[in-house]
Amino acid sequence: MKILPPTLREKKRYLTVEIMKDGRINRDRFLRALQDSIKDLFGDVGLSETGLRLLHFDGTRAVVRCTPKMVWAVRAGIATITQIDGVKVSVRVIGIGGTVRSVMEKYVETGSENMSLQLLK
């Protein structure tokens, strides 16, 4: 089967999120919490429009894919997550990019260094 040409593919945005938490959470629980909170706000229709995928998760940083139109909806969904299975969390978007590579290079791989620099300032 032929693959879909790039021009016909959905446009995407990749959000890097930072997770502040006081316990352990795993990938599946995080994705579930994110989907639930978007679903609570925008319903099943809204969630389907976001084209949500979780591409990377390491406990403190995650990369979430969505459509450009729904970036602010996903952001609102992210902002209304308060706890995951009793673990207090606060999630925030630290950067947005157009390719996985760019956000991984800019926000995930150098993430820990950036953070310590910010604290030093």
Partner 1 sequence: MSLFTSNSFYELCMKPESREDLHQMAGVARRYRYAGVAVPIDMGVGDLDDLPTGFSIIQSVELVVKNASRVSGTVKQWWEKSDCLILRGGSESLNRVGVESQLVDVLSSPGRINHVLAKLASENGVAIEFNLGAIIHTRGQKRSETLALYRNNLKLLRKYRAPFILTTTPRTSYDLRAPREMAALSMLFGMTREETVHGLSTVPSQILEKHDPNFIADGVRLV
Q: Which residues contact partner 1 by CB under 8 A?
A: 20, 22, 40-41, 72-73, 75-76, 78-80, 82, 88-90, 92-93, 118-119
| Cβ within 8 Å of residue 37, ≥6 positions away | 77, 78, 80, 81
**Residue 1 CB, nearest distance to partner 1 (Å)?**
38
| Smallest separation (angstroms) from partner 1 to the CB of 3 | 34
Token pair 């260094």 in the structure block, residue: 113
CB of 10 to partner 1, least distance (A): 21
Cβ atoms within 10 Å of 46's Cβ, excluding its own? 16
Ramachandran angles phi, psi of 15, nearest 5°:
-100, 130
Q: Which is nearer to partner 1, 64 or 78 (CB)?
A: 78
Closer of 6 and 86 to partner 1 (Cβ): 86
Nearer to partner 1, 12 or 75 (CB): 75
Give kind and range of the element (H or E) at residue 44. helix 27-50
Both tokens of residue 16?
């890097």
